[in-house]
Every structure is written in C-alpha cells, then in structure tokens.
Chains A and B, each alone.
Chain A
Amino acid sequence: MKRKYGLLIILMAALLLLPGRMATAADELCIGGLFPLSGPAALYGGWCLKGVQIAVDLINDRGGLFGKKLKLVKGDATDPKAAVTEVTRLITYEKVPLVIGTQSSPRAVPASEVANRYKKVYWEVGAEAERFTSRNLAYVFRPFCCSTDKVKPLVDYIKKVVAPALKKDPAKVRIGLWFEHGDWGTDTGNAFMEYAKNNGLKIVMALSHDPASLDLSSDIMRMQSAKLDFIFTPTTLEALGVFVRQLKELGVYFPGGMSGSGTVEGLHKVVKSKDVDYYLDSEGPSTINPNFLDKKQRKNLNELKHRWKAKYKENVPYIGYLGFGNAMILLENVLPRAGSLNPEAVRKAAVKTDIPEGGTTLGYGVKFFPPGNPQQGQNSRSWAVLTQYQNMKNVTVWPKKVQVSAPWCPVPSWKDRAK
C-alpha cells in the first residue's frame, strides 16, 4: 500500500515538473482552427478543416505572412460543450490571436461568444444559422451566407423553372418541407417557409424528422398523400441516402424536383447510382462557372483543386471549397491589410473589407454589415447557388449568371428514368 502511494506521489510530481505546451517557433504565426473532427459532424468538419489547411499551406508557399509561416493549431469541437472548452484552450493556453471555425452552427454559436469575450476575432467559414450574426458581437465575422441567403435561389428557381416546367402558376406549385429536427434543420426550414410565403409560394406540408431514423417509409407515404410537386430537404447526407433509396423502393417521386441545403454533395458515394440524378442542392457557391471569377481567384481555385487531388486522391467536396475560399478571404485580403495578428487591427481591417463579386474563390464579394447594424459581422454580398446531380456529377445550374449546365426539370418517374 505504501509503495502504491509512493509511486502515485512520484507520478504526480513528474507531471507537475513537465514543461507546458511546446513553445511556438520564432518564425511561426499561430492561428486557431476549431472544427468537429470526431463525433457525428466529423465528416463535414474534416472536409472544412482540410480546405482551411490548404489555404494556410498556399499562403505559406507564397511566402507566409509578415515574413513568417502560418501554423494552424487545431481544436476538436466534437459537440457544443467541447467547442467551448476547445476555443478556451486555443485562446488561453495556445495563445492564438484569432480562430477560424467551425462549420457547424450549434458549435459555432457558443464558441464565438467565448472568443468575443476574450476580444479575439472569430472567422466563421461554414455555419449558416441566422442568429450567428445577430448578436452584436464585435469580433465575430461570417463571410459565408446565412440560412435566408441559402433559400433565395431555391425560391427563385421554383418560380422561374419549376412552375413553367409543370405548367402551373407558382402559387399553385405544391411544395413540401422535410427538415431534420436539430438547430440547423429547423433554422433552415423556418427561413425557407418565411421567404417562400413572402414570395407568394405555398408550403402544403412541413415535416420534421430524426436524421438518425433507420426507416423513412412513413414520411415518404405522407409526402405521397400530399401530392407534392417539389420538396426541400435540409437534412444530413446519411438521411438523404436512406431517403433516396426508399423513394425508389416506394415508387415516389416529385415532378418539380427535390433540393437539399448544402449536404447533397457526396450523395453519389452513398447511393452509388444514377438514382441521385435530378437532386438539387442549395449551397454556397463552389462549382460555379470559373469565368465569373477574376484571374487571381481562378488561379487560387486551380491550386485548391490540384492540391486536394494530390493529397486526398479525390475531387474537392463542396465543404472543402467553403473552408478554403472563406479562409483565403481572411488570409489573403484581411490580414495583410491589418498588418499584424493583433485582434483589434484584424477587427478593423475586417470591417473595412470591400471585395467586388468575382474577387473571391467562391464568387461572391465581401462587405460586412458595420458595427451597430443588426447583422453586424455578416457578409452583405454573400449569395448561394443551386447545384444539381446530372449523370452523377454535381453541377451549378442556378442562377443563370454562374450556371455550368441548364437545370433538368421536370423530373420523370422512376419507371421512365429506368428506360
């Protein structure tokens, strides 16, 4: 017993004597990267982080910032509580002056509160919740679009493409909403219902669901009974995989089409057949017509595609474009103008950002709503696009100014598609 306690005391003393975190190299500038890398959101968080890392590597290969190399210090936001713990660790222990994150709204919202409290800039690259930038937080910025931005091209598409294809007045198109019951799905669903209603469209069915459900047959039979022309499905990729398979098994289809909200990318890997064709996705611009971008951004885009393929042996997923494109706005435009990583200098430089359309890899311009505005920190120039699976490839189809291919509408029945 005495020996056991002796060993314990020696172990504790050894732990106390261990050095703290490894000191940062003199030629390095550390910035925080907070993403869900384990747990249920690991897929999207991982992709986003990879995009951000490629942006950091690209800047370093071009000489770094202020004569030093950038280093991304990672934090794992497994869930909202871990996001708070990790951002606190990044700021207080790793001493990062700013944080890039987090792709997931339930994690981004509490983590950004913490960063703002410490007066460190929080640069959000992928979370969409409206409330993220309606809290008057001076150090929080989102170059990416919010839920309302995401639903605008969808409503436009229904009015200008779906209604004529079905030979119906837009107000008579029967639209359904099937959303995952968490924060993101509910937020996106509410934004869609409000915007659609304000634009004269009719939502005849709104169903929430658990994205972990193993059987969606009763949901699909409800949709069939409602005789829907079009359905919006903000839910997870895994749930969409089950949804598409069971739609085919039950012979149900929607002649005007179906659309997800940023999670349809990768559906071809889950369903692995042309059953994914016709599926739309309302997402931040990623695969838009490159001619829309200026020369510098076309070069950045090619770098991303080339580096991603070389490193990960696959094409860049949509979320990878988001991570890269939104991080590059900070690293290539904001930080050089700030002159240092001093949070106050970065904040002031971010507020003064003024990039025209075509001046970012994602196509949209950047100008943040100023301090005092109810949407302080939100990019007023962000917009979303619609992509569609065509021959198992996800291509931008709407709006016309950035489309790569014309949309496929109406959607034939499963029997006709098999012919």
Chain B
Amino acid sequence: MSFEITAQLLINGILIGGVYGVLSVGLTLIFGVLRVVNFAHGEFIMLAMYACYWLMFYGVGELSTVLLVGPAFFLLGFIICKYLIHPILDDPELSQVFTTMGMGIVLQNMALLFWQADPKSVTISSAPLKIGSILISYPRLRAFAITALVVALLSIILKKSYIGKAIRASAQNRNAAAMMGVNLKQIYAIAFGTGITLAAVSGALLLPIYAVFPMIGLQFVLICFVVVILGGLGSIPGALIGGLVIGIVESFSGFLLDPALKSVVYFIIFYLVLIFRPKGLFGNI
C-alpha cells in the first residue's frame, strides 16, 4: 500500500471520525448527567437539519443557521426535559427507553407528515482541498474543526464555570450535589438542553454533507451509541476520541478487507473494549 493511499485513508478516517464525534457529544452529555439514554438523539439531529435547510432556503447564511438553531434547540431541550424527562427520572430504565424511543418515533413521523419522504439538500461547493496528492473534503474538514472547537469550549465551561461544576457534580453524585445546594432539576434541564443544542450544531454541520429525510436519524443513532460507549459514557473528549478511533478503523478496514465488513471490525473492537474496559476509554461510569 503506497504512502499516498495510506495518507488518504488516514485523512478520510479522521474526517469521518470528526463527523461521528460531533454526532455523539450531545448524547454522552445527556447520559453522563441524567443517566437517561436519549434514543431520540438521531431525530433531534434530523430536526436541526430540517431547520437549517428551511433557514437556508429563505436566504439565511450557512454559519448563521448555527447561531439561530443552537439557542432555539436549547429552549426545545429545556422544555422537553421539564415535561417529558423529569417525570420519568426515577422510573425503571425500560420506561425511560420507551419514552425516548416513543419521542423519536413521533418526531420521525411528524417530519414525514410535514415534509414528505423526499430527501432535501442544499447547494454547496464540494471541490476538495488539495495538499500534494491528498484530497480533503472541505465540508467535512469544517465539521471536524468546529467540533473540536465546540468540544474544547464545552470542556472549559464544564471545568471553570459554576454551572459546569454543578453539572459535573450532579453527574458524579446527584445526592451529594443536591446536599451542596445544587438545584438538580434545573441542572438536568440545562444539561439536556445543552445536549440537544449539540445535536442541533451537528445537524447544521452535517447538512452540507448529507441530504435530510425523515429517517436519517436512524442512520446516525447506531454509530452514536457505539462511539459514546467506546469513548466512555459521559466523557465529552471521549466522544471525539471514540469517533476518531471508529472513523480510522472503518476507513482502513473498508479498504484492506471489504467495505461490507467495516462495521464488523469496529464492532469487534467495541466488544473488546466492553470486555476489558467496560467504562470505555475515558469514562468513569
């Protein structure tokens, strides 16, 4: 295998790994704090893609959509947490699974009802950047760069700000956090809202790469769970690193073995991590 092919495979793997990372950070934050697995995560990404599509259809710039969609989805997440998630926090896990799955099915079918099944896409320039003989997809590079920035910012906020400390304390030990004066319900709503905001940001970054249709959330959600568990539940940097690992493994195994086997390879790695390090690479849960 030549150097050019190896380098191209590595770049491809890093870029798709960035996409997987951006899809997963919101999910890991919600689980880390609320201990609720949001099975509707893919559908929120889908909704955000639709929101960005319609904003761009009416002339809003690409990056401006992120600034508009982010706060709107934070509010949406906040409200959903208050009225749908809070009531089930102490319920058995199966109830939580059904609630979030049900939410996902409702969102999917609402999208089908309002916007039909036809894929919708935005016009973007897809001419690649060229470094020597290596070609780099510009939309994917941008998604990776913005993801890294968002993860860095989020890590700083979680470490330095009062709300960040309260979120981390609630994730570590909710009873102790409550005894220290942390308003748990408010923190949960903020964490859920932030998780949905991250899903919205990922949707905005992915719209230039993928067409949106009601069922696209299903394509995202399976890989999200693999990345989140591999990286460690609740670990934000873990989601990005997990995404990179999966992306690079997928890229090389698809080329060297068979593209049909690439998911087999990363699932094998996933199982090995679960056996030898069940908390994931960077998790504490």
Contact = CB atoms under 8 A, between A and B. Distances in A.
Contact of B247 (A215, A272, A275): A215
Interface in B9-43: 9, 12, 16, 19-20
Contact of A273 (B117, B123, B259, B260): B123
Interface residues of B, number: 46
The prevalent SS among residues of A at the interface is helix
Interface string B234-258: 0000000000000100111111001
B112 interface: yes
Contacts of A270: 119, 121, 211
* Interface bin, chain A: 35 or more
Given A218-B251, A221-B5, A269-B118, A207 B260 contact: yes
Given A207-B260, A222-B255, A245-B126, A217 B119 contact: no
Contact of A215 (B5, B16, B116, B135): B16
Given A43-B119, A215-B12, A218-B254, A250 B259 contact: no
Contact of A269 (B8, B119, B223, B258): B119
B117 A46 contact: yes
A294 interface: no
A40 B216 CA distance: 9
A378 B36 CA distance: 52
Contacts, number: 116
Nearest to B255: A218
A214 B5 contact: no
Given A209-B259, A218-B255, A269 B16 contact: no
B99 interface: no
A270 B252 CA distance: 28
Contact of A214 (B9, B16, B260): B16
B146 interface: no
A19 B117 CA distance: 34
A149 B213 CA distance: 31
* Chain A CB within 10 A, most for which of B122, B211, B250: B211
A241 B214 CA distance: 16
A221 B255 contact: yes
B9 A249 contact: no
A393 interface: no
B259 A266 contact: no
A301 B233 CA distance: 57
Interface in A215-273: 215-219, 221-222, 225, 237-238, 241-242, 245-246, 248-251, 266, 269-273
A218 B211 contact: no
B220 to A, nearest CB: 8
Contacts of A207: 258-260
Contacts of A242: 210
B119 A214 contact: no
Nearest to B261: A208
B218 interface: yes
A46 B128 CA distance: 36
A238 B259 contact: no
11 contacts: A213-B259, A213-B262, A214-B16, A215-B19, A217-B12, A218-B255, A221-B9, A222-B254, A245-B126, A248-B127, A249-B140
Rank and list the top 7 A-B pairs by shortest CB-CB distance, nearest first. Answer: A218-B254, A43-B117, A217-B12, A42-B117, A215-B16, A219-B259, A249-B137
